[in-house]
Amino acid sequence: MKNRPATIFILLSILMVSNGCHSIGTLEKIYDSQDPYQGSPYRQVLNRWTRQVRIYVGGFDLELIAAVTFKSLSFREAYTAEYARTYRLSPAEKEKMLKDQQEAAGLYHEFFISAYIPDRRWNDFHEKDTIWKIFLSENSGTKIKPIETRRIKNVDAAITHFFPFVSPWDVVYRIKFPVVVPGSNAPIFQNESTPLKLVITSVRGSAEMTWGLPE
């Protein structure tokens, strides 16, 4: 195993000598194969719609590390394209998936949350008696509670492909909110330039994440 880098270098050298000008193409293919998204824009879109926060108590004691992805319409479109590429969907299958994603974006605002808390007993966002409160803060200051908080127990290779920030020590959740302010027809998030704030708070500290503002 210790000689693997030298072996790879020798093999690349042989390829470069034997293939002449084609060696650059060979190297590019090798480097491209290390990219799980094969050059697709999915990673850039994921980064655009993901926020990461930490909560410390007393400035030193870590209480929470969280990565949160807002599944906006543009994120869902990029997700569909990457899913279709990965699983080689037919055009009809891709079209149906895209339609389903667009409909979902119109029904609720969904967030993917990967959370690490040193004491795993407190990593329980989905429980009714959890110490954590998670809500959206609308422009007027109204707090909007989730309509569903679900823990994803089976964190498989598909999850970590589409959300590579998930670590083996994290607990993963999907949280859904309404698309309009309860009791009114006012949309919470009108478009991708509208500020949207998600708050995670408890007796151990608070964190805020904002989407839709100029970066």
User: According to the model, what pLDDT value does residue 198 have?
Assistant: 94
* pLDDT of 83 higher than 50: yes
Across 199-209, average pLDDT: 93
Residue 70, pLDDT score: 95
Q: What is the mean pLDDT of residues 95-114?
A: 96
pLDDT confidence of residue 195: 79
Tell me the helices (H) and strands (E) count for the chain, helix number first: 6, 9
DSSP line for 131-154 = S-EEEEE-TT--EE--SEEEEE--
Higher model confidence: residue 139 or residue 25?
139
Query: Residue 36: what pLDDT?
Result: 87
Dump pLDDT digits (tens) for 169-182: 999 999 999 988 88
Average the pLDDT over 141-162 and give the result.
93
Tokens for 19, please give them. 């293939």
Residue 5 has pLDDT above 60, yes or no: no
pLDDT number for residue 8: 42
Query: Which pLDDT score, from 0 to 100, does residue 137 have?
Result: 84
pLDDT digits (tens, 9 = 90+) for 32-79: 457 888 888 999 999 999 999 999 987 778 999 999 999 999 999 999
Look at residue 13 and tell me whether its pLDDT is greater than 50: no
Residue 54's CB is within 10 A of a number of other CB atoms, namely 12
118-138 mean pLDDT? 92
> Residues with Cβ < 8 Å from 155, sequence gap 6 or more?
166, 170, 172
Measured at the alpha carbon of residue 203, what is the angle toward residues 202 and 206, in degrees to the nearest 5? 45
- pLDDT of 30 over the 70 cut: no
In percent, how much of the chain has pLDDT > 70? Answer: 78
Q: How far apart are CA 79 and CA 98, in angstroms?
A: 9
* Statement: residue 212 has pLDDT above 80: no
Cα 113 from Cα 109, distance rounded (Å): 13
Q: 160 Cβ partners below 8 Å, 6+ apart?
A: 166
CA distance 203 to 185: 33
Look at residue 33 in the predicted model and tell me its pLDDT: 54
Band (pLDDT 50/70/90 cuts) for residue 139 is: low
pTM of the model: 0.80
CB-side neighbour CA atoms (13 Å) of 126: 16
* pLDDT score, position 191: 66
